[in-house]
Amino acid sequence: MSGSSSKTGLQLSGLLSVNKPQDVTSRQVVNQFQKLVRPARIGHAGTLDPLATGVLVLCIGQATRLIRFVQDQPKEYIGEFVLGKRSDTDDITGEVVDTPDCPVIEREQLEHYLPNYRGSIEQIPPQYSAVHIDGRRAYDLARRGESFEIEARTVDVYELEVSEFEFPRFQLRIVCGSGTYIRSLGRDLGEDLGVGATMTSLVRTRIGEFNLDSSLSLEKPPTLETITAHLQPPIRAVPHLPHYRCDERELRALRLGQKLTCDPARLPDVDEIIEIAAITPDGDLVAIAEWDRSHQRLSPRQVYAERSQ
């Protein structure tokens, strides 16, 4: 595997799934690992709020170039909410106000509104969010007490179900695409019911193939040895892309940044122009390439160094 450590001279590159604790920012987790893998670069794919816990995928070394591919994969969450409360942050970290004379809500009433939030939906992010408003973060404007509006944006919710319900508390299991705010889902369901709802906890249980059970716990401080033991190869970032298995001639050409003329029969039935993961016979990632069916040509866009043995 490959990043680098000044102690070992080993170049590390790969993906590391960690279980982010509560009350820690995603950036703080990155900083904790940065000092261990220097001078390798490191970044994370998909921010988790300090309140949230669960799967945070770190990309190390050359794999930092694959962050967008990890971010684009479906994410699964378990969110817990309480009815009859509203918050300026849409979760319990904000200023929470009780709904006067809140009626008892039944599970069936809540489930009645779920179909409205499945599929491609329009969602307004929370006021306290990282959304940019005229070049400034929404949470900065909100903290200053400035008045502003956030436009609705389209997000994808693939699965949504009530997994637990005992009024006033309920739990949702959500599988969604990038950019979906779970806080907003709970808030909007609470408004549909006329009583408000506030998120009390959130766990991200999966991003693509990375799940909570296989994530590195941070109960103990990480070491270079634990990082190396849990590091996953870069190919794990692109399971959703079509794969093209290269022969030795093609590997040499791609590593030199050269375009390939390919037999389309060796590729899945894909669109005219699409991104392809070019791999070695052993399944290692060589390049992210663009496939042009009309010219039967593969053009490398990101080339990755050969993995050290």
CB atoms within 10 A of CB 119: 11
Which of the residues 23, 49, 91, 101 is marked catalytic? 49
91 Cβ contact list (under 8 Å, min separation 6): 49, 51, 183, 198, 199, 200, 202
**For residues 20 and 218, is the Cβ–Cβ distance under 8 A?**
yes
Residue 236 in tokens: 């794990």
Residue 194, burial from CB neighbour count under 10 angstroms (0-12, 13-18, 19+): exposed
Answer yes or no: 49 catalytic: yes
Specify the DSSP class assigned to residue 296: T
CB atoms within 10 A of CB 205: 19
**For residues 51 and 144, is the Cβ–Cβ distance under 8 A?**
no
Q: How far apart are CA 298 and CA 290, in angstroms?
A: 6
**Residues 47, 49, 53, 55: what is their CA dihedral angle, to the nearest 10 degrees?**
-10
Q: What are the residue numbers of the active site?
A: 49
